[in-house]
Amino acid sequence: MSRDPLVVGHVVGDILDPFNKSASLKVLYNNKELTNGSELKPSQVANEPRIEIAGRDIRNLYTLVMVDPDSPSPSNPTKREYLHWLVTDIPESANASYGNEVVSYESPKPTAGIHRFVFILFRQYVQQTIYAPGWRPNFNTRDFSALYNLGPPVAAVFFNCQRENGCGGRRYIR
């Protein structure tokens, strides 16, 4: 039985095909590094994270995609995958702010159920123009990778997030 968090979390299967990790991707929200499957509140992920790609050669470029495969709800994901962020031309050893932001960061606001938010890193073999998709819902990472010849992903990280002010609890009425 595989204990890879990406397999257990059905990230491999729902979004990605099996791949070999060949790059080091660090995602930091409020200077805290993200680990696979960790639980974060929407208030903690309101601002875009800092992305660090380990390496020394700034000629190596990467594309970062952030998607939600559980939109609008995990039991009925009709908008799978919802595109939250798309940054291209990120140089190795640099921050995502040095890249070209094609689709701006939209903070996660899950309404129903526990949502997975996945950061997928692709290696760019050449510097190329990547166009913003017409809409955020129903984005397909596999098709996107095939369209721009990005090949399999080199790294991926995901976290879980759910509505903060959930149902239940006592309501204080004046």
Partner 1 sequence: MKPVVGIVVSNKMQKSVVVAVDRLFHHKMYNRYVKRTSKFMAHDETEDCNIGDRVKLDPSRPLSKRKHWVVAEILRRAKVYSPSAAAAAVSAQPGATVQQAEAASKS
The rounded distance, in Å, linking the Cα atoms of 99 and 88 is 6
Q: Which stretch binds partner 1 (CB under 8 A): 1-9, 25-33, 53-61, 119-127?
A: 1-9
Name the residue nearer to partner 1 (CB basis): 2 or 129.
Answer: 2
CB of 110 to partner 1, least distance (A): 12
Tokens of 159: 């976290």
Q: Per CB under 8 A, does 160 bind partner 1?
A: yes
The secondary structure of the chain in percent helix, strand, coil, rounded to multiples of 5, reads 10, 35, 55
114 neighbors 160 (Cβ within 8 angstroms): yes
CB of 144 to partner 1, least distance (A): 23
Q: Which of 79, 116, 123, 136 binds partner 1 (CB under 8 A)?
A: 116
Q: How many CB atoms lie within 10 A of CB 70?
A: 26
Q: Which of 77, 91, 113, 137 binds partner 1 (CB under 8 A)?
A: 113
Look up residue 92 and give its DSSP letter: T
For the sheet containing 82-91, what is the strand order? Answer: 38-40, 155-161, 115-124, 61-68, 82-91, 100-103
Residues 6+ apart with CB under 8 A from 54: 23, 24, 26, 92, 93
Q: Which stretch binds partner 1 (CB under 8 A): 41-49, 54-62, 109-117, 141-149?
A: 109-117
Name the residue nearer to partner 1 (CB basis): 37 or 133.
Answer: 37
Phi, psi of 58 (to 5 degrees): -75, -5
- x/- site string to partner 1, residues 25 to 54, per CB under 8 A? ------------x-x---------------
Which residues 2-21 are close enough to bind partner 1 by CB under 8 A? 3, 8-10
| Residues engaged in binding partner 1 (CB under 8 A) | 1, 3, 8-10, 37, 39, 74, 113-114, 116, 160
